[in-house]
A and B are shown apart, each in its own frame.
Chain A
Amino acid sequence: MTHPSQSILALYAGKELGWLAARRAERHVARCSQCRQVVEAFAALHDDLVGFGDVPPLSWSRLAAEMKANIRLGLAAGECVRSESPAPLAWISGMRAAMAGAAMVVLLAAGLVLERSTLPVPPVAADESMVLRATANGVELNQGGQSLSLLHMRAAQRPGGQLDVTYSAGAQGSMRARYVDSDTGNVTINNVYVQ
């Protein structure tokens, strides 16, 4: 014989099973003394607990008065805390939301305008007739037969004199000359950009 589970018997004893499950358990318990004993034990437990729920004798009026006073005190304390840190007013919250929304719209509009606008593109490539070259003592710019030299002061004062110059050319059409004065140790850097 298959016995119902302990859970089924526990619920059957407390009349918590559904109609069909209860009928099934009832039929089994009627012919199984072992399960009947289990159900009786669960039922006895229920009876024990019913009496157990009684509150021990106590002075209810004193206890109730004490509890009421403490509840009042707790509510008053809660009110104090709430009024110390007031909740944000509804209109402030609304204004904040409106401002956030407006800021988003402005950002979006600015993004669109910037994306669509044709910004003036700076001339990257240098004029073909313009030549920038390094000389022994500086940087020279030539255009249409005319030239402009950017020389170190000492080289200008000392014609034919050589200086320790380091040149570097930029991909964007620039030239950099770095002079080191051997007498003073001063370093001079000239950058020439061609547009």
Chain B
Amino acid sequence: MSEAVEPSQELLERQERFVSEHLRRIFVQIYRIVRNVADAQDLTQEAFIKALQRQDQLKDEQKAAHWLSRIATNTAIDFLRRNGRVSMCEIEQAPESHDESPEDSLLRSEQRAFLEDGLRLLTARERAALMLRDVEGLPAEEVARRLDCSKATVRSHIANARIKFRRYMEKRKP
């Protein structure tokens, strides 16, 4: 007969601290790839659970942060692959600020929808590479680490993504 081993109080506290420190960053990172709050929430939880189950990887805090980012990116990419790059529009989108007029809000929402459509043309890895580079502002070396590929591959993903996106924008121009 086996008995469940209770994790120590110290371990629980360390896990709590780790989650609190990185939760927002990881959520935003995943959101930028999947473009949906509910999915980003689920995937963030999944990424943390995967990471915290490997406690041996969490000893060095800096390495653990990088490792967590990598897990988050891969979790988001896997999700996009499984779901055929589908991204649902947010239904709870509120105006950016209370000062924003309904016209501005509508314009902003149209712009977002326009960009969302463009992102759907990209492969999961192209999308992740573009988001990490252009939105997160990470250097290509770091993007390569996150995607677990070479810098040349990252450049290729980024170039392809920009070319596809630019063609899409030109076609949609009035």
Enumerate chain A interface residues (CB-CB to B < 8 A): 6-7, 10-11, 13-14, 16, 38, 41-42, 45-46, 48-50, 52-53, 55-58, 60, 63-64, 66-68, 70-71, 74-75, 78-80, 83-84, 86
Contacts and interface: CB of A to CB of B under 8 A. Distances in A.
Q: How large is the interface on B (under 10, 10 to 19, 20 to 34, 35 or more residues)?
A: 35 or more
A75 B52 contact: yes
A79 B134 contact: no
Contact of B23 (A11, A16, A52, A68): A68
Interface in B11-48: 15-16, 19-20, 23-24, 27-28, 31-32, 37, 41, 44-46, 48
B92 A78 contact: no
Nearest to A41: B166
Given A11-B158, A41-B170, 4 more contacts: A6-B163, A14-B158, A49-B130, A68-B19
Contact of A49 (B19, B53, B134): B134
Contacts of A10: 158-159, 162-163, 166
Contacts, number: 109
Given A71-B45, A83-B4, A56 B165 contact: no
A83 B5 contact: yes
A174 B16 CA distance: 88
Interface in B75-108: 90, 92-96
A55 B36 CA distance: 9
10 contacts: A10-B166, A14-B134, A16-B158, A49-B115, A53-B131, A57-B96, A63-B27, A71-B48, A75-B7, A79-B5
Given A11-B158, A46-B134, A16 B4 contact: no
B2 interface: yes
Contacts of B162: 10, 13-14, 42, 45
A60 B20 CA distance: 12
Q: Interface SS of chain B: helix, strand, loop or mixed?
A: helix
Given A56-B92, A84-B2, A75 B41 contact: no
B133 interface: yes
B93 A56 contact: yes
B5 A71 contact: no
Nearest to A78: B53
B136 interface: yes
A35 B109 CA distance: 31
Contact of B135 (A7, A49, A64): A49
A53 B115 contact: no
Nearest to B130: A49
B19 A71 contact: yes
Residue from B27, B45, B93 whose CB has the most chain A CB atoms within 10 Å? B45
Contacts of A80: 4
Contact of A11 (B19, B53, B135, B155): B155
